[in-house]
Chain A
Amino acid sequence: MNFSDETVMAYADGELDAATRAAVEAAMALDAQLAQRVARHRALRGRLRAALDPVLDEPLPERLLASVRGAPVQRHAAEVIALKRKAAPGWSWPQWGAIAASLVGGALLGPLLLRAPAGGALVTRDGQVLASGALARALTEQLASSQPPGAPVQIGVSFRARNGDYCRTFVLREKSTLAGLACRAHEAWRLEVLAQNPAPPAAATGYRPAGSALPAGVAHTLDELIAGEPLDAGAEAAARARGWQP
């Protein structure tokens, strides 16, 4: 009797009804090749289990135990400043500078934020954080497809947000520790998130997923805002030509 591959597989997985199972077993007694097909399936299962079962015995990472216990979990909190659209009234420059400094470390943000706003890459207006200076120019003018590799601001992904606005991710090369995402609204680039860009990995451990160039916090915000797919080079140039108006 001839059994299909799926029947042999289901037998090896213990998924057959009693009658079919008996038929396979009867046939196996006479058919070494059939027995071998079953053995092959079982060996594969054994091999997979032998490779992955040791994971069961690993000590549980503390962060997982903490998340089960429901300790307040702030993913990326250590590296991200979420820039709330509706900042509290009186959210003034020194406050925001102090908060930012406490979140990412004064050494990193200080030179950018605490300097006189005119010279910095960021300014605040009406409680929002806006790009200024070279960052604002790059966001308005630079195309990811043709930017010089040495440019101080590197544009990453450009895309339409769900509310229709154009948004772009960037990395400040000069301060290679900062990356962010800004959206165009009311003739300005409003920052949605600013994050510490992890140092390029020393080729040390394990795998680096493709796309790891964006810090997790920025990537996370991108995923939350994006509608559809990012702009390709043609759509990016067209959006620039329209002045990033929706």
Chain B
Amino acid sequence: MEENGTHERNAAIDVGASSQGLREELVTLLPRLRRFARALTRDAHDADDLVQIAVERALTRAGQLRPDAPLSSWMFGIVRNAWLDELRARGRRARLFAPAESGEQVGDASQGAHADLLAVQDALARLPEEQRAAVALVLIEGLSYKEAAYIMEVPIGTLTSRLARGREALQEMLGET
């Protein structure tokens, strides 16, 4: 990474010059970012809020985009960090608004595919955050262990053990398929 400084400067210039290109790439990434966010948050509206925050952050930090890493990894990382920020803020608020509504699910879960989505999202929501992120990146987004570990900023061994525990818990909650 010794050349990082130069790289980043170049990237900033490139991105500035091709910000249109970045925007176009972001549009093509939106469906996957939404799916990832949906796996993290369980709530469709929260998920889109998260994607929107991530897009806004990405556009203001385009200079930090590393030319050697795919845009998708960078974006998944931003989505996840935005979610961690939100969880911290909620934890703080929840302690002070203790009687506030907890995330009980209301609504009609009777339709087949929709019901399965809810069952899966409920199960995901019950995982500890770091296991949920590992599962979402590897099993849903189809990333390699290496990419997922990079996004979560942990060693591969940590990623695999979170993934293994998350998987085990999900299998228990969802039953055999």
Which one, B7-15, B65-73, B76-84, B86-94, is touching chain A?
B86-94
Contact residues of A between 194 and 246, Cβ < 8 Å to B: 203-214, 219, 222-223, 226, 229-230
Choose among A52, A157, A206 the residue that contacts B96 (Cβ–Cβ < 8 A): A157
- The CA of A219 and the CA of B95, in the complex, are separated in Å by 14
Q: Which of A69, A208, A219 contacts B101 (CB 8 A)?
A: A208
Chain A CB within 8 A of B113 CB: yes
Contact pattern, B 120-149, Cβ under 8 Å of A = 1, otherwise 0: 110000000000000100111000110000
Write the A48-91 contact mask toward B (1 if CB under 8 angstroms, else 0): 11111111111011011101111001010000000000000000
- A48 adjacent to B164 (CB under 8 Å): no
Measured between alpha carbons, how far is A126 from B138 in the docked complex, in Å? 56
For residue A41, CB closer than 8 A to chain B, the reply is: yes
* Known A-B contacts A41-B167, A46-B177, A203-B106; A209 and B120 likewise in contact (beta carbons under 8 Å): no
Q: Which residues on the A side are within 8 Å of B103 (C-beta)?
A: 207-210
Q: Is B23 an interface residue (CB 8 A)?
A: yes
- For A214, the chain B residues whose CB sits under 8 A away are 93, 97
| Cβ distance B88 to chain A, nearest Cβ, rounded Å | 9
Within 8 A of A (CB), among B2-57: 23, 26-27, 30-32, 34-35, 38-39, 42-46, 48, 51-53, 55-56
B89 contacts across to A, CB distance below 8 A: 211, 219, 222-223
Chain A min CB distance to B108 (Å): 10
| Distance from B156 Cβ to chain A, minimum over Cβ atoms (Å) | 9
Q: A9-B164, A52-B35, A64-B48 are in contact. Are A69 and B23 (CB under 8 A)?
A: yes
Residues of B within 8 A of A (CB): 23, 26-27, 30-32, 34-35, 38-39, 42-46, 48, 51-53, 55-56, 59, 85, 89-90, 92-97, 100-107, 113, 116-117, 119-121, 135, 138-140, 144-145, 160-161, 163-164, 167-168, 170-171, 174, 176-177
By a beta-carbon cutoff of 8 Å, the part of chain A in contact with chain B is 5-6, 9-10, 13, 15, 40-41, 43-58, 60-61, 63-65, 67-70, 73, 75, 144, 156-157, 203-214, 219, 222-223, 226, 229-230
